[in-house]
Homo-oligomer: A and B are copies of this chain.
Amino acid sequence: MSDRSRARRERLSTLVLGADDLVELVDRTGRDRLMDLMIERLRRRFDEHDPSTVLARKRDGFRYDKPALGLVEWMPTHELGGPVVVKMVGYHPTNPSQRALPSVIATTSMWDSESGHLVALADATLLTAVRTGAASAIATDVLAVDRPIRLGIVGLGAQAVTQLHAISRVRSISSVVAIDSDDDIARTFADRVAFTGIDIETAPPERADTIVGEVDVLCTCTSVDIGAGPVVGDTAPTPWLHVNAVGADFPGKLELPASLVEQAFVVPDVAEQCLVEGECQQVPALRHGPEIPDVVRHADRHAARRSELTVFDSTGWSVEDDVALRLAVELAGDYNLGTEFVIECLPPDPYDPYSSADSDHARDR
């Protein structure tokens, strides 16, 4: 082996988990086991969460209306002693109609906090759907009635698939009422979740008016416009209804009627964020409950909530993305997936930024 290739081999590489790797990762792991692992890891992280050791930043980003309405946001997090993880999320609502692309496209990256080296870069579109489902499953497990449930889902896009899947891993689902304002999306839902083996009753949009009184657990995962909510009727809810409110993620974007939120025990994922862009926008001052990690850790203390009206206000927490990426990297290691890529140009002489070129040439000559 030449000096040059030896030098090459020793350079730090980045694990790139691309689209094909994620697809294979799901295939090899199995959807159920992947979801179970995500739920297990996330539950443990919630359970052990110590805010004093987690440096997270609120979602921030650029929002613009040129060339089209859209935003690119970053969600950075760091658990002391662990890696730095930053998820980047693009939201471009004209994608499906104008570009045959999903509106949400995301990637996620991990840095070693010892050296600052970029350890891994992965697609986060799939991981985000899985971790969002897992978070709802955990909230459901802690806050919903502990018997076979009738589940309602309003909004039958991508998130609905992983919401149903995740909840099916923590509760037996006796029946599902599935509702979307778009008939074309509603029509394909049963096929998309056929892998769960659960029968789906697809109901017309007006059924959303009364759904809160018909089910034990409800997931709202719509892309309702700002100011156009709520997406369900303001009627009497099942007394023990648990709601996973997943869709709200923007100031003024709301899925639930104010009266329901006001009556409920509301558990935010991140209170600071939920008060700005979640259902907590509708909660009277200081009336929301503890954040999800606290509820998970003290599940016994909150057991009586299973017979009460509860809402999990899920706006998306960067710590969930940290858990998701660590799991993906671990599974990729198990199956030897991904491409190791030397991205960082680390010159042999750290005091000479041009020295990579020099030294390679010198060795070639």
Contacts and interface: CB of A to CB of B under 8 A. Distances in A.
A301 interface: no
Contact of A123 (B74, B123, B339, B343): B343
Given A74-B74, A76-B62, A344-B105, A115 B92 contact: yes
A95 B72 contact: no
A81 B67 CA distance: 6
A114 interface: yes
Contacts of A353: 125-126, 129-130, 158-159, 161-162
Interface in A306-365: 339, 341-347, 349-357, 360-361
A67 B114 CA distance: 6
A111 B73 CA distance: 11
A18 B13 CA distance: 10
A99 B130 CA distance: 36
A342 B20 contact: yes
Nearest to A360: B23
Contacts of A241: none
Given A74-B76, A88-B118, A105-B115, A351 B125 contact: no
A352 B161 contact: yes
Contacts of A106: 344
Contacts of A66: 80-81, 113
A227 B118 CA distance: 30
Given A76-B74, A157-B351, A161-B353, A19 B81 contact: no
B121 A346 contact: no
A188 B349 contact: yes
A231 interface: no
A27 interface: yes
Chain A interface mostly helix, strand, loop or mixed?
Answer: mixed
B72 A64 contact: no
**A62, A129, A185 — which one has the most chain B CB atoms within 10 A of its CB?**
A62
A316 to B, nearest CB: 15
A116 B91 contact: yes
A117 B354 CA distance: 31
Contact of A101 (B101, B117, B156): B117
A151 to B, nearest CB: 18
Nearest to A24: B357
A107 interface: yes
Interface string A186-219: 0011001001000000000000000000000000
Interface of A: 11-12, 16-20, 22-23, 26-27, 31, 55, 57, 60-62, 64, 66-68, 70-72, 74, 76, 78, 80-81, 84, 86, 88-92, 95-96, 99, 101-107, 109, 111, 113-118, 121-123, 125-126, 129-130, 156-159, 161-162, 185, 188-189, 192, 195, 339, 341-347, 349-357, 360-361
Given A61-B76, A158-B352, 17 more contacts: A18-B345, A62-B78, A70-B116, A74-B86, A90-B117, A92-B115, A99-B114, A103-B350, A105-B115, A105-B116, A107-B343, A121-B343, A125-B347, A156-B351, A161-B352, A192-B349, A192-B355
19 contacts: A16-B341, A16-B343, A20-B342, A55-B62, A62-B84, A67-B81, A70-B115, A71-B116, A74-B74, A88-B109, A91-B116, A102-B347, A102-B350, A105-B346, A123-B343, A125-B345, A126-B353, A126-B356, A192-B355
